[in-house]
Amino acid sequence: MKLVRYGAPGAERPGIWLDATKKEPARILDVRGMVFDIADYDARFWAAHGVERLQALLKEPNLKTIPAEGVRLGPPVAPPRQIICLGKNYRDHAKEFDAKVPEFPVYFSKSPGSLSGPHDPIRLKPGMERVDGEAELAVVIGKRARDIHEGEALAHVAGYAVLNDVTNRDLQKARLQWFFAKSADSFGPMGPWLVTRDEIKRPHALGIRQRVNGEILQESKTAQMIFRIDMVLADLSRVLTLEPGDVISMGTPGGIGSARKPPVVLHDGDVVECEIDGIGTLRNPVVLAYG
């Protein structure tokens, strides 16, 4: 299934994306309109066997749907408790970053307030001169994970989405840490939907890429990760409890714009696309925002 949240920012409703067929264009199933107690794709939903309930819902007659065209999509999950990111988790990116391939996973956090929809604008404020994107595979936790083993780790995953870890490189360099540079409002486009785990049989065999104004900057495969999803989840769970709804973003491959010569950084009017095969594409315009 492709789970979406649609509607105005801050007032999104849970839905299921129904792909276009030969007979009709794409539509969105209005989950809340059919199941009153599913208010959102939040921790309560995941903890209450939410995916199984949606699978049963799809089998019911007289589904309540709306046309998908023109409907804004928000991030596919409710504001999460935490977003944990991996730095330098692809060898080519580690080399272009500082030439040091890490021995252990490098973790940092990103503000949940940075999340935005798959087509929402990335807003640059005056003075943000070196900002670029990072195409990443986001993993959403579906079941509490504490002291788990690698062999059972993927069973704790609800699904996968694309995340653009937009970064202010000047701020990152000036502050000598990553959280502040990556947490600006709109610096976390996510979506376009959450693809449930059962549909992604091989999460480490997916093509991943980023384009700016149609030009490919990043192109790789998730097989190039240094630390795989199962290892990362088990590693994290030995120190902290992962709760349903938590987001783990698995790092970005090489080719980022700021590492190029000359650099390719984002400007007002640009369009950034981040894409992962089998999951979907984010397409976000870049705008200079004064307010």
pLDDT of residue 291: 64
Residue ranges covered by each domain of the chain: 2-67, 83-288
Which CATH superfamily is 83-288 part of?
Fumarylacetoacetase-like, C-terminal domain (3.90.850.10)
pLDDT of residue 160: 98
- The pLDDT profile of the chain, 291 residues, written as one tens digit per residue, is 999 999 999 999 999 999 999 889 999 999 999 998 899 999 999 988 789 999 999 999 999 999 999 999 999 999 999 999 999 999 888 777 776 788 999 999 999 999 999 999 999 999 999 999 999 999 999 999 999 999 999 999 999 999 999 999 999 999 988 999 999 999 999 999 999 999 999 999 999 999 999 999 999 999 999 999 999 999 999 999 999 999 999 999 999 999 999 999 999 999 999 999 999 999 999 999 876
| Alpha-carbon gap, residue 23 to 139, rounded angstroms | 33
β-strands 115-116, 188-196: how paired? parallel
Q: Residue 152 in contact with residue 173, Cβ under 8 Å?
A: no
| Alpha-carbon gap, residue 277 to 178, rounded angstroms | 28
Q: Pick from 220, 212, 230, 228: which is nearest to 267 by CA?
A: 212
pLDDT of residue 93: 80
Outline where DSSP puts E strands in the chain.
2-6, 13-18, 27-30, 65-67, 83-87, 106-110, 115-116, 122-124, 131-132, 135-141, 157-164, 167-168, 188-196, 207-212, 215-221, 247-249, 271-276, 280-288
